[in-house]
Structure 1
Amino acid sequence: MLPLLAGCTTNGQKPEPPNRQNLTLVRPSDVARLLPEETSLRRQYHPPLPRAGRVAPDSRVAYEAIPNMSYADNSLDDNLAGSIELADYYTMAVKAGWQRWLQGGGPYTVLAMPNQQIEALSRSWPGQGMLDPVNHQRLKFFIGQTILVGKWTPHHLRKELATPEARRAGGVIQTRTLTGEPVSLRLLPGDVIQISNREGSLRIGRRGYKQSNGVFYVTDRELY
């Protein structure tokens, strides 16, 4: 059975923020995974140029980032907030007003983008980019499109595909984003998840980061 579409827009109505996740119901876990390596600091490093016969003091070590971890018994909000490489995405999610959903019981599937992709997209927006007040509604829609209702891992998709409804639908699972837009999910060989909407599709072949209220994937493409 598909999860209830709690907290997403329907018929143009404004979504109601969900309650925060009840932490007393979260099962403790000792599962932790390294988050994607922060690359923007590395890009800032340039070999020092000789100056007056001397080498300017500059060290590659100064541009190394401390590894970040994602903990399976923490929420989407906690783990995304702790990722340096996803800092821009998290900032945009908060500015767009979706943080309460990341803190809620969910479950949700988040398609998070690294800093480099968010920064490139922001430069293509008018004015001061994504954080410009004139772009707030566009930002809200954009980030809302990256958050799907339901926890969609290959394991959960296989369970859903075993239902008569999914078989009648030809192996396609239907859900929605937080903006209320319909999304189709299909499990491809090799545990690749294909996510499609009316604008296009993307494929996720990497293992997701399990969360207490869902799962998130890191992708360099937007479902927009």
Structure 2
Amino acid sequence: MALSLGACQSPARQDAYKVVGSSNSFMAPTVSGARNYTPAGEKDAPNSNVAYPDPETPIYYDRPLSESILSAIELGNYSRALQVSGYDRLLQMAGPYTVFAIPNEPMKHVSEQYPGGLLDPANAQALKNLMGFTIVPGKWSVDRLRRVIARMQTHAVGLRTLSGALLTVSVEPGTNQLVLSNAAGTINRIWVTGIPQSNGVLYFTQSALPPVFPALPVAGQSQVALGVKSAPLAAPASTTH
């Protein structure tokens, strides 16, 4: 069993303009652009100066999660899903929160598994569950996670997400890397680790990990997982922080 931990959050809005500015930033990778970009042909108009396949985008340490996620090209689909689910407003608050954001390719794969797409109003509950499973109350840096995990006999820690489902973080034997898993044991690897933010910490994952909820207290009721299968990135970047 993994130890379940929570944290206290502040409902106050995170006013980025009151944060002392700095030039400290992380250049977030982009891989989805190369899959969608088609160079101009001989008879086409010249390529735009900004139409490059894989532009990196800066994520500044002193900005709130809501701004950083919105500005990251590789989190475009995730950012839109946050807005539709309503969680984007929460990430404007002081928190703190730790976000395990899903890149474009896995988010696209998730959406394709639902009639009308995941953002369709008919799939609102599934969207809410999935997005809530990517957000954990508290500021969980890599160092803090490793310290807590080192004290556990199971070498794992369970973090209570906003969906209510437990997200387990453990150290993978052999690689010594932090990995995520749900209650069914499905693994999700971390792509970009622990970018500090003014109201929390931001990670990029390699897959979309479905939340798994405890069985309903009804006779004969089987365990229900309102989510989707994990879809790893075809070519994960090696960039970490």
Distance (whole Å) between structure 1 residues aligned to residue 60 and residue 31 of structure 2: 18
Whether contact under 8 Å (1:193, 1:205) holds in the other structure is no
- Aligned residue number for residue 202 of structure 1: 188
Give the alignment's TM-score, normalised by structure 1.
0.76
The alpha-carbon distance between structure 1 residues 80 and 191, as it changes in their structure 2 partners (threshold 3 A), is: farther
Give the TM-score taking structure 2 as reference length.
Answer: 0.72
Gap runs ≥5 in structure 2: 211-241
The amino acid across from 1:181 in the alignment is A
Task: Judging by fraction of residues, say which structure has more helix.
Answer: 1
5 Å matches for 1:30-45? 30-37=23-30, 39-40=32-33, 43-45=36-38
Q: Deviations over 1:84-136 (max 9, x none)?
A: 2211100101110111221122222212122222222212211x202211111
State the structure with more CA Rg: 1
Is the alpha carbon distance of 1:186 and 1:80 closer, same or farther for their aligned partners in structure 2, counting shifts above 3 Å? Answer: same
What does 1:120-159 correspond to in 2, within 5 Å?
Answer: 120-126=109-115, 128-159=116-147
Taking a change above 3 Å as real, the CA distance of residues 215 and 195 of structure 1, as seen in their structure-2 partners, is same
1:152 Cα deviation from its structure 2 partner: 2.5
Could you tell me whether the CA contact under 8 Å between 2:142 and 2:194 is conserved in 1? Answer: no
Q: Percent identity?
A: 31
After TM superposition, give the deviation of residue 23 of structure 1 in Å: 5.1
Alignment match, 1:52: none
- Matching residue of 2:229: none
Determine which of 154, 163, 166 is the counterpart of 1:182.
166
Residues 25 and 58 in structure 2, CA contact (< 8 A), matched pair in contact too: yes
Q: Any conservation in 2 of the 1:191–1:205 contact (CA below 8 Å)? A: no
1:137 Cα deviation from its structure 2 partner = 1.2
Task: Look up the match of 1:218.
Answer: 204
Are residues 1:92 and 2:81 paired? yes
Q: Contact between 1:148 and 1:176, CA under 8 Å: does it hold in 2?
A: yes
Seen in structure 2, the aligned counterparts of structure 1 residues 35 and 151 have a Cα distance that, compared at 3 Å, is: same
Q: 1:35-85, CA deviations, whole angstroms, 9 ceiling, x for partnerless residues?
A: 22263366230563xxxxxx3125455631654210001011010111122
User: CA 1:19 to 1:40, structure 2 compared with 1: closer, same or farther past 3 Å?
Assistant: same
